[in-house]
Amino acid sequence: MHYPWWYVPGLTGPMLIAIVAVVHVLVSHYAVGGGILIAIENSHAIRRKDDKYRNYWKTHTQFFVLLTVVFGAITGVGIWWTIGLASPLATEMLIRTFVFGWAIEWVFFIVELTAALTVYYYWDRLPKNTHKTIAWIYAGCAWLTLVAITGITAFMLNSTGLFGNWTPEAPNFWLAFFNVQFIPQAILRTGGCLMLATLYVYVHAAWTLRTDPPLLEKVVRRMSRPLVAGIVLLILGTTLWFPNLTPIARQTLESAAVLNAFLALIVFLTGIFILLLLAGPIFNPKSLNLGFALSLFVFGFAAYYR
């Protein structure tokens, strides 16, 4: 359907797309990173025979499933609804060019949903090794959905191919998918998934383990490793991302005064976030409480979604 216009008073269609997309990505990144953390920590608890620690992750998985499977799916549909109305011709081209990619993503997504529900509902019913395997299947499929979508979103930023250039006259899927932004964005998004997932865990653990300080401290200590790994990947991905922008995009970023002001704000927020991490979870895990965890989440979210 081609709409002559779609009138969104005040907010405008593009801003509505941005709002829905940011909310969805906030949850979808947790779906990937949280799945990896659940698989790692479930395996750790089984290996160490630490049933108390494993029970915490069962509680966290309930929160995880409700947020990612239910709310994440709704906001994902919301993105398609808003872009289809705001820019139907561009959306049509996006679907036609990457229909094979969306099919691949949906296969992984179906397996991911099935595995997530199985991990939670059969937590105490399956043999532990079987349950651990299913948790890793979820983590792998969740990350592969990220990879599949990243190739498409990266193409929208820079269509220059790694092995050859896509053209409308010769719309080769693989040339479009493997573009120069694919690897930088895959690294950046993976780092973002790990970082944001640990911040979700901090908030959840600080709320649910208020009466069990030793267990809360163990969770905080364990989460410091994927948190640092996520930050390192974020820095690496951003470093590779900027040189692979189109010349016009790079020139715009370098010359726009407003964007330079935002860059200063990003540096400021990132500095506060890192100081909070050093003062709290990394060097003083006993200091984490709900207010501290929420502050970390807000500053981490603001710094990442620059």
d(CA 296, CA 276): 7
Burial of 135 (0-12, 13-18, 19+ CB in 10 A): buried
Return the half-sphere exposure (C-beta side, CA atoms, 13 A cut-off) of residue 238. 12
For the chain, the average pLDDT equals 88
Q: Between 58 and 1, whose confidence is greater?
A: 58
Please tell me the least confidently modeled range out of 92-96, 171-175, 256-260. Answer: 256-260
Cα separation, 163 vs 104, whole angstroms = 21
The residue whose two tokens read 């163990």 is 218
Answer whether residue 1 shows pLDDT above 50: no
Q: What is d(CA 68, CA 139) in angstroms, rounded to the nearest whole number?
A: 13
- Please tell me the total number of residues recorded for the chain in this structure: 306
In tens, the pLDDT along 115-149 reads 999 999 999 999 999 999 999 999 999 999 999 99
Two structure tokens written together for 142: 């969740």
Domain residue ranges of the chain, discontinuous segments joined by +:
13-180
Ramachandran angles phi, psi of 167, nearest 5°:
-135, 155
pTM above 0.85, yes or no: yes
What SS3 state is found at 230?
A: helix
* Chain segment 171-193, per-residue pLDDT in tens: 788 888 999 999 999 999 999 99
Encode pLDDT of 10-39 as tens digits.
777 778 888 888 888 889 999 999 999 999
Cα→Cα distances 140→13, 143, 249, Å? 35, 5, 33
Give the pLDDT confidence score for residue 306 in this predicted structure: 58
